[in-house]
Amino acid sequence: MKQAFERRGVDTQGWANADEISAPCFDEVITVLREYEEQKDNTARNLLNRLSPLFELGLFPKHDAKGGSFDAMLGERVVLALFDLPSKEIQSALAELIIIRLHGYLVRGEHPRRLTRLLVLDEAWRVAGSTHLESLAREGRAFGVGLAIGTQYPGDLPADLAGALATKIFLKNQQPDHKKATVRALCGATSGPEAQRLYTMIDNFAMFEGVIQNQHYTPYQTFKLTPYYVRKEQVAEEPAPERKKRFAFL
């Protein structure tokens, strides 16, 4: 990495203004590693093997490539679909890179202390161990960022990350370990009268039923989720004038 910067005339031993230097692209770093590999450097060979899924897919732009900036992307409503990538490791790595970039961008930006962005992470167990994601959850209010994290099992999120989220929603799950994690999150214990009452409640849940907990619903409140296909049917059955009112209100 240092050699790639030095080849672009950047002094790696001192301070430099990021706006005044020409940083190397990912391919230039790979070129340096390949030169070391040709010299039978085992460290370079191992690094190339680990990085090969990233550079072989062409995920990083060339130095002179034209493209949208990260700032421009954040100014839009964007969905990043990673499921087509060839491995779970690459999906997790790219998600982590995006989170790191976003956290750095927000730290250097304004602190509006009002909601200006919403970051939604589905299948968040892939990046649940990210310290930058935990920092976003802790500091998001100051950055004007809301964080919605979805994961399959209640125990997927570390306690520190889950504790930084203002609202917790648990849907029906009949596996014993997951029920125990839900009960612990809601009442702080897995035994006793209150815990037993929760176990019984969860056992009786039907599909789309669950529990919500936040400052408005304490200690917790049950609810029933209306799935999207039912909502679509309800909207389709409404008279046109009512439908217009509904969408105008939303």
Least confident of 44-53, 59-68, 86-95: 59-68
pLDDT band at 246 (very low <50, low <70, confident <90, very high): very low
Q: What is the DSSP letter of 169?
A: E
Which residue has better confidence, 98 or 236?
A: 98
**What would the pLDDT profile of 184-212 be if each residue is shown by its tens digit?**
999 999 999 999 999 999 999 999 999 99
**What would the pLDDT profile of 169-186 be if each residue is shown by its tens digit?**
999 988 999 999 999 999
**Domain spans in the chain, listed from the N-terminal domain onward:** 1-67, 74-165, 167-250
- 4, with CB counted inside 10 A (0-12, 13-18, 19+), is buried
209 vs 226: CA distance, rounded Å: 9
| CA-based nearest residue to 104, from 136, 148, 72, 67 | 136
pTM summary value: 0.70
pLDDT value at 59 more than 60 = yes
Backbone angles phi, psi at 148, to 5 degrees: -115, 120
